[in-house]
Amino acid sequence: MDLPTLQDFLAREFPQFEGEVLSLNETCCCLGLQIEDKHLRPGRTVSGPTLMALADVALYAAILARLGPIALAVTTDFTCHFLNKPSADRPLLAEASLLKLGKRLVIGEVRLFSEGEQACLAHVVATYSIPPQLTNARV
């Protein structure tokens, strides 16, 4: 899937997703999210679940970009290490790449940043299970 097709698919299948796919190439899929009050925790930091939710969609988008429109890939495990405090005043960026594209499992990692800042906010590694019929056909 190219960038506009991926954006259309996510808009249609994930109307709840408030972020945006910013760029897409062979190795990386980058998503952005504007920070609003509902994403904040005490101390004006972005909540951990906000970071994890963006990372989850970013990896899902990276998988879609490679395998085509698989609405039914499901997360099987998700590990996040929180590294630095996010800025409440800057959009959140997620850079997702795949570590392995297997027949049944896809494993990927995500690095999260505040736009314009160098420090990595969080590192995610997660596994997605691909429905059998699709992998037989496609991978």
Using rule CB under 8 A, residue 96 touches a second copy: no
Task: For residue 29, count other CB atoms closer than 10 A to its CB.
Answer: 28
Cα 6 to the center of its chain, rounded Å: 13
Binds a second copy (CB under 8 A): choice among 30, 46, 96, 127: 127
Using rule CB under 8 A, residue 26 touches a second copy: no
Q: Where are the alpha helices (DSSP H) in 14-121?
A: 48-67
Q: Which is nearer to a second copy, 5 or 47 (CB)?
A: 47
Binds a second copy (CB under 8 A): choice among 23, 41, 44, 117: 41
**Alpha-carbon gap, residue 87 to 36, rounded angstroms:** 12
Using rule CB under 8 A, residue 14 touches a second copy: yes
Binds a second copy (CB under 8 A): choice among 76, 117, 138, 139: 76
Instruction: Say if CB 133 and CB 107 are below 8 A apart.
Output: no
Binds a second copy (CB under 8 A): choice among 2, 26, 42, 116: 42
Beta bridge partners of 55: none
Angstrom CA distances, 99 to 45, 103, 127, stand at 29, 13, 10
Q: Which amino acid is at 63?
A: I
Binds a second copy (CB under 8 A): choice among 75, 117, 138, 139: 75
Using rule CB under 8 A, residue 47 touches a second copy: yes
| Distance between first and last Cα of the chain | 15
Given the rule CB under 8 A, which residues bind a second copy?
Answer: 13-14, 16, 38, 40-43, 47-49, 52-53, 56, 71-72, 74-84, 99-100, 104-105, 107, 109, 120, 123, 125, 127, 129, 132
